[in-house]
Amino acid sequence: MTILCLGNLAAEAQTPLRAWNTHPDGYPVTEAMKSFIQEVDAATKGKYKIELFSNAVLGDQGKAVAMLKAGEIDVAEFNSAPLSEAAPGLKAFNLPFLFHDSAHMFRYLDGEMGTRLAETLKASGYVVLGWYDGGARSFYCANKPVTKRDDLVGQRIRVQQSEVYIEMVKLLGATPVVVPYKEVLDGFQKGTIDCAEGNMASYEATGHYKVAKYMLLDSHMISPEALVVSSKLWDRLSAEERTVFQKAGKKSAVLMRELWEKRSIAARAAVAKDGVQFANVQDFSPYIRKMSPLYTKYMTDPATRAELFAIVGNQ
């Protein structure tokens, strides 16, 4: 492991920091953050000791955002929802059926577009150190096989409290049902929902596959997450320290993506072994046409429109 050593930091007093994420121990995000913490600790010779609070033990994401801005936590890993409020251009990454896979998405985030979005986020208190993989989300159902878009028509599909997700399901001819994620399994068992949607790793980890064995691999949503530090912390760091944090953040992002891919492959193998039936989407054009009203709505925001045009224009 390559460590950037900063000799002039050795004599500095130790500075304790706090890091937050919503995932359990062993999850790709958590393990990548541990790697980041170790890199920073080694490169600053122990000046920055970061304590990781995983599994949302300090509160949910909404509370964590407020804590980061108040300086009560220093490092966090957020999904794109709160970040897109600060950087409207990021909303383009929350729209369905835009990316073929995660590599397609990172082609933009690892380039000029990602740099531009990071600059906007910085002005709102978030300093992006690395773009993480939020995973590809697909639909899965309990009561019948789903092999094409029309199979979703009339189904009651669990969605998170998100305007985009609710509108997407409506445009597909289904009924959105907003249910807390921890209650999805119970919803399937009680018959209050027919389908849900999520990434492969969560589908396996939550046990949803045990009651909803039909998955339509449409990857309708591929969104980023981000490892960030607060601007309050960033402003206190020296130029050398910022370089340490940036390098450690980029390395953790690469690790997270690798761990996520392995986790997703393993999860798919595990649920397939348990009898889950998968269907691949061959033609996405009918889905994209159905989403036209949703795209049009978000085109009204200049920042979102600019990024959306850049993505669609390079498909």
Task: State residue 94's pLDDT score.
Answer: 86
Task: State residue 82's pLDDT score.
Answer: 82
* DSSP of 89-114: GGGGGGSTT--SSHHHHHHHHTSHHH
Task: State residue 305's pLDDT score.
Answer: 85
- pLDDT for 254-313, tens place per residue? 999 999 999 999 999 999 999 999 999 988 888 889 999 999 988 888 878 888 888 876
Q: How many CA atoms are closer than 13 Å to the CA of 241, on its beta-carbon side?
A: 18
Is 167 a residue whose pLDDT tops 80? yes
- Tokens 């600790």, residue located: 41
Reported as a pLDDT band with limits 50, 70 and 90, residue 2 is very low
> Pick from 280, 279, 311: which is nearest to 298 by CA?
311
Is 4 a residue whose pLDDT tops 60? no
Is 8 a residue whose pLDDT tops 60? no
Strand 15-20 and strand 75-79: the pairing is parallel
Residues ≥6 apart with Cβ < 8 Å to 312: 98
* Gap between the Cα atoms of 95 and 98, Å rounded: 7
Angle between helices 102-109 and 239-273 (to 10 degrees): 170
The strand ranges marked E within 167-259 are: 175-178, 195-199, 214-230
Task: State residue 301's pLDDT score.
Answer: 82
Task: State residue 137's pLDDT score.
Answer: 95
* Gap between the Cα atoms of 45 and 25, Å rounded: 25
| Residue ranges of domains in the chain, CATH in brackets | 7-134+224-269 (3.40.190.170), 138-221+276-297 (3.40.190.10)
